[in-house]
């Protein structure tokens, strides 16, 4: 849905927003532009003037311009009907061109622009789509469309049609259409694991979960497609599948900022944590901006919805206190004396926490010990503290969905951190007496959690294999490398990730890692380099002896590595 971009030296991105987003609740369009500080206010004022003039000319006077400034630029947008988002994006870029022309003292043919935009709007306008949308909203059921098909209701209660062959709303059997429960999970770490753990609880309840994630779109045991589907497209693919009985949506930063949410209403939301990552993209300059972006998921919460938040994350606590939300709050913490949690429970609120090795769910002064942390396989006897946190958040969601306690316990005790239940996240294999830990750690917080786990696993010697993608700063890569160095591994294998250079040069990131390892005191003779994760794994297995622990951090090549290990020795 990206439109042609004018003045490419100033415009960074022009896109449609197909759901609730960082800027407004409705669908719309946004233009990201670079602006020199000396001219920013003047250029933005000219754009406001031009875009309002064009909005008035096409009959959209009620759609007010929206500006979100950031360091070195701004996001310029406005709301627009869902059937004409391409035309809205063209109107926005036209207004920008007009503003630049006015700034430069050049002529701009307004009359020709209005004629062109009016023709584009008339061609794109779909009154049947809007009537179906209005009919669904009047009946309190969800509506969405993905360009080709329109859907009312969700999952088992949904029905879809080709956008060009929509029914008369009065002929639709609305008695058969309804929404299924949904939850959204976002945060920097733990999204995929939390979604998968919750899916296990859903199965324990005898229901069919649908989930979209960075790995795939899946309904029950059926994988609809593989790839990164953590954006609105994956959510809608899953939610229009009539087998879905509960929808579990992983909401990642990229899709949220590019397109908005895939759904405008949900029953519960979990925000796992927020740490600095991928800053300077889409006008997100600092962790406070990133937290605000993650909190966009709360725009979709129903009035009686539940917002589950990590009380051990200071940024989430601060944002929740300065931006209060009407939803019911459920705080979770690994510290039973966490002051935010204690105050919330004292006021009669909900909370999840661990105490004396037990996982506790509480409402006010009522405490319910669910089970021992060590009885949850994915916590690895409590060593995987990140999965303890994930389980606490999932319990908050499960209780929001009114799951029975027995169902929660059954789901948590049957979920295993292996390649079947949670591929690529904390998978521990025994390969001929060599322990192999495979993980997807991809930021500083993830590396710290993984190295904490590795320290608690018995090992004669340790090897760490890792690389990083080019979207991280050198400082972030050095911080991850420092976490590895604190393990004092007997061997380190640095991998290149050529498919994810993202602006860096081949060999650049491995060299940054190499130099930081040396700076941290890792001897030169124990460091190796490999072209990818598969070659690095082969190097690791050639070095390994029975009793060793190999920590393989894989962003890519996971399937090939698993196949190699499961057939080892060749």
Instruction: Encode pLDDT of 514-562 as tens digits.
Output: 999 999 999 999 999 999 999 999 999 999 999 999 999 998 899 999 9
7: pLDDT confidence band, cut at 50, 70 and 90? very low
What residues contact residue 313 under an 8 Å CB cut-off, 6+ apart?
A: 273, 274
- Give the per-residue pLDDT at 8: 36
Whether residue 528 contacts residue 537, with contact meaning beta carbons closer than 8 Å, is answered with no
Residue 84 CA to residue 285 CA, distance in Å, equals: 31
The verdict on whether omega for the bond into residue 569 sits within 30 degrees of 0, i.e. cis, is yes
Identify the pLDDT of residue 39. 78
Residue 446 corresponds to which tokens in the numbers above? 């993830």
Do 298 and 325 contact (CB within 8 A), yes or no? yes
Q: Cα–Cα distances in Å, from 51 out to 59, 113, 228, 419?
A: 12, 12, 35, 52
Q: What pLDDT does 147 receive?
A: 82
Nearest CA to 180 out of 242, 267, 246 is that of 246
The 3-state secondary structure of 442-478 reads CCHHHHHHHHHHHHCCCCCCEEEEECCCCCCCHHHHH
pLDDT tens column, 429-446: 999 999 999 999 888 989
Token pair 């640095």 is found at 494
**Residue 462: C-alpha distances to residues 37, 328, 440, 446 (Å):** 51, 45, 18, 18
The arithmetic mean of pLDDT across residues 372-399, rounded, is: 96
Residue 289: the pLDDT is 93
Q: What does the domain layout of the chain look like in residue ranges?
A: 11-125, 141-176, 182-414, 427-566
Q: Please tell me the distance from the alpha carbon of residue 101 to that of residue 107, in angstroms, as a whole number.
A: 6
**What residues contact residue 279 under an 8 Å CB cut-off, 6+ apart?**
285, 286, 287, 289, 290
The mean pLDDT of 20-45, rounded to a whole number, is 91
β-strand partners of 361? 352, 368
> Are 377 and 413 in contact, with CB atoms under 8 Å apart?
yes
DSSP-H helix ranges across 105-190: 110-124, 127-138
pLDDT per residue as tens digits for the range 64-81? 899 999 988 999 999 999
In the block, tokens 């003292």 appear at 105
Q: Sorting pLDDT into bands at 50, 70 and 90, what band is 297?
A: very high
Domains 182-414 and 427-566 share a fold: no
How do residues 113-164 score in pLDDT, each as one tens digit? 999 999 999 999 999 999 999 999 999 999 999 888 999 999 999 999 999 9
Fold of the domain built from segment(s) 182-414: 3.40.1190
Percent of the chain with pLDDT over 90: 85
Superfamily of 427-566 according to CATH: Mur ligase, C-terminal domain (3.90.190.20)
Which of the four pLDDT bands, split at 50, 70 and 90, describes residue 36?
Answer: confident
* Edge-to-edge strands, sheet with 159-162: 143-145, 149-152, 159-162
- For residues 213-228, average pLDDT: 95
Q: How far is CA 167 from CA 85, 131, 153, 238, in A?
A: 22, 10, 15, 22
């Amino acid at each position: 849905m990206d439109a042609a971009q004018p003045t490419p030296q100033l415009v960074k991105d022009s896109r449609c927003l197909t759901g609730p987003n960082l800027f407004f609740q409705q669908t719309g369009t946004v233009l990201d532009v670079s602006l020199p500080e000396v001219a920013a206010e003047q250029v933005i004022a000219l754009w406001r003037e031009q875009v309002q003039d064009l909005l008035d000319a096409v009959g959209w006077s009620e759609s007010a311009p929206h500006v979100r400034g950031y360091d070195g630029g701004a996001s310029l947008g406005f709301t627009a009907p869902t059937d004409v988002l391409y035309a809205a994006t063209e109107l926005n870029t036209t207004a920008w061109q007009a503003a630049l022309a006015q700034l430069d003292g050049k002529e701009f043919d307004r009359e020709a622009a209005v004629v062109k935009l009016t023709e584009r709007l008339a061609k794109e306008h779909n009154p049947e789509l809007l009537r179906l949308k209005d009919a669904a909203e009047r009946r309190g059921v969800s509506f969405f469309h993905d360009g080709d098909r329109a859907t009312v209701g969700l999952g088992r209660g949904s029905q879809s049609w080709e956008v060009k062959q929509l029914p008369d709303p009065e002929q639709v059997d609305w008695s058969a259409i309804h929404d299924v429960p949904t939850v959204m999970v976002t945060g920097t770490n733990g999204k995929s694991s939390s979604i998968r753990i919750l899916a296990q609880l859903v199965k324990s309840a005898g229901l069919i979960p649908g989930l979209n994630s960075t790995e795939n779109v899946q309904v029950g045991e059926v994988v609809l497609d593989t790839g990164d589907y953590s954006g609105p497209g994956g959510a809608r693919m899953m939610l229009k599948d009539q087998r879905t009985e509960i929808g579990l949506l992983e909401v990642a930063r990229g899709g949220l900022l590019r397109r908005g949410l895939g759904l405008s209403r949900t029953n519960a939301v979990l925000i796992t944590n927020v740490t600095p990552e991928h800053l300077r993209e889409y006008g997100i300059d600092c962790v406070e901006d990133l937290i605000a972006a993650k909190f966009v998921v709360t725009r979709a919460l129903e009035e009686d919805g539940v917002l589950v938040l990590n009380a051990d994350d200071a940024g989430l606590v601060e944002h929740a206190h300065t931006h209060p939300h009407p939803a019911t709050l459920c705080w979770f913490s690994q510290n039973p004396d966490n002051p935010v949690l204690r105050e919330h429970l004292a006021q009669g609120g909900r909370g999840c926490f661990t105490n004396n090795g037990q996982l506790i769910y509480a409402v006010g002064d009522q405490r319910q010990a669910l089970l021992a942390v060590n009885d949850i396989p994915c916590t690895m006897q409590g060593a995987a503290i990140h999965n303890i946190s994930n389980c606490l958040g999932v319990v908050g969601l499960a209780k929001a969905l009114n799951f029975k306690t027995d169902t929660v316990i059954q789901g948590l005790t049957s979920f295993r951190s292996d390649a079947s239940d949670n591929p690529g996240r904390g998978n521990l294999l025994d390969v001929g007496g060599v322990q192999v830990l495979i993980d997807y750690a991809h930021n500083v917080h993830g590396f710290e959690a993984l190295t904490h786990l590795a320290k608690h696993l018995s090992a004669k010697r340790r090897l760490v294999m890792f690389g990083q993608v080019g979207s991280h700063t050198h400082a972030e890569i050095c911080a991850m490398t420092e976490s590895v160095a604190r393990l004092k591994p007997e061997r380190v294998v640095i991998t290149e990730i050529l498919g994810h250079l993202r602006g860096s040069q081949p060999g650049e990131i491995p060299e940054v890692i190499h130099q930081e390892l040396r700076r941290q005191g890792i001897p030169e003779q124990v460091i190796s380099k490999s072209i990818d994760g598969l070659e690095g794994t082969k190097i690791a297995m050639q070095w390994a002896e029975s009793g060793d622990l190999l920590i393989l951090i894989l962003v890519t090549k996971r399937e090939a590595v698993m196949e190699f290990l499961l057939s080892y020795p060749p």
